[in-house]
Amino acid sequence: MRLATWNVNSIRTRVDRVLAFLERENIDALAMQEIKCRPDQFPVEPFRTAGYQLAIHGLNQWNGVAIASRIGLDDIDTSFPGQPGWAAKPGVEPVVEARALGATVGAASDATPVRLWSLYVPNGRELTHPHYTYKLDWLRILRQDVASWLEAEPDLPLALVGDWNVAPRDEDVWDMSVFEGATHVSAPEREAFAAFAEAGMHEVTRERVANYTYWDYQKLRFPRNEGMRIDFVYASPALASRVTGAAIDRDERKGKGASDHVPVIIEVD
């Protein structure tokens, strides 16, 4: 089973690149983030023609998550329990944004099914911004849910994949001095990321592949390789023991119409 995650930064803009990637890399299930559309706007037919089922969760032109699978797609959830909402303005009712989508993939194959979550963690914006508190709350509640899931079902093959908007280590950014006083590298964010390991999850890509996963469009960041590693795969013990390989497809950042993120792939026995 080959699973992948990719912040596509608008599926309608990059559908051809995504489909080419699926075919080239023989991907069984892809978790997407920042699809930036509602389900009725998603380019469904090209995926169906290629043999993929879709689960789509998008509320407007922002955020949005989806899963494409050719090995079955069941038990879809468009949020995790207690997922906090975001109020765009003071006095406005918080909205649970389209940032999390869970589905079971693999039932239509010979492999043991995997509970796959496509996650687009809030950015945080600035350390003093309410969005930063929202980000930490979002991660804290997800971590609590994960701990309860694993307690109830220790053998659950669970994958939390996506754009975490956290660079957990100094080497995950090209120059730490550039990020002084900024989000993504702050101690509370890194502690929130590490808490998933404390809950029993294993980040399964770092030990197998080294590279950045994101390069800003501005200031020639990609040609200068001034990137960040913020896209990860956390796996439960039952799944981590089956992971046999991982890759970061850096070449997907090249050429016309590239997303600012690249796909991260894992191979599951």
Tens of pLDDT, residue by residue over 224-261, are 999 999 999 999 999 999 999 999 999 999 999 999 99
* 234: Cα separation from own chain's centroid: 10
Percent of the chain's residues with pLDDT above 70: 100
Beta strands in 191-239 (DSSP E): 202-203, 231-235
- Asked whether residue 211 is marked as a ligand-binding residue, the answer is no
Q: Looking at residue 163, what is its pLDDT?
A: 99
Say if CB 84 and CB 118 are below 8 A apart. no
The domains of the chain are located at 2-268
Mean pLDDT of 168-197: 98
Mean pLDDT to the nearest integer, 60-73: 97
Q: Annotated catalytic, 129?
A: no
Interhelix angle 187-198/130-152, rounded to 10 degrees, is 10
Distance from C-alpha of 88 to C-alpha of 203, rounded to nearest angstrom: 32
pLDDT of the residue at 111 = 82
pLDDT higher than 90, residue 90: no
Task: Show the DSSP H helices in the chain as ranges.
Answer: 11-24, 44-49, 130-152, 187-198, 237-240
Q: What is the CATH number of domain 2-268?
A: 3.60.10.10
Annotated catalytic residue within 52, 120, 134, 234: 120
**Based on C-alpha coordinates, what's the Rg of the chain?**
17
165 is in an annotated binding site: yes
* Catalytic-residue membership of 184: no
The answer to whether 251 is a known catalytic residue is no
pLDDT band at 109 (very low <50, low <70, confident <90, very high): confident
Can you tell me the mean pLDDT for 180-194? Answer: 98
202 annotated as a binding-site residue: no
The arithmetic mean of pLDDT across residues 61-83, rounded, is 97
Active-site residue identified among 28, 57, 134, 163 = 163
Question: Coil, strand or helix: which one is 54?
Answer: strand
- Residue 143's pLDDT is 98
Distance CA 203, CA 189 (A): 16
Distances from the Cα of 63 to the Cαs of 115, 198, 199, in angstroms? 22, 28, 27
| pLDDT of 91 | 86
Is 7 annotated in some ligand binding site? yes
Spatial contact of 39 and 65, defined as CB atoms under 8 Å apart = no
Q: What is the pLDDT of residue 173?
A: 98
89: pLDDT strictly greater than 90: no
The predicted structure's pLDDT at residue 110: 86
**What is the arithmetic mean of pLDDT over 181-193?**
98
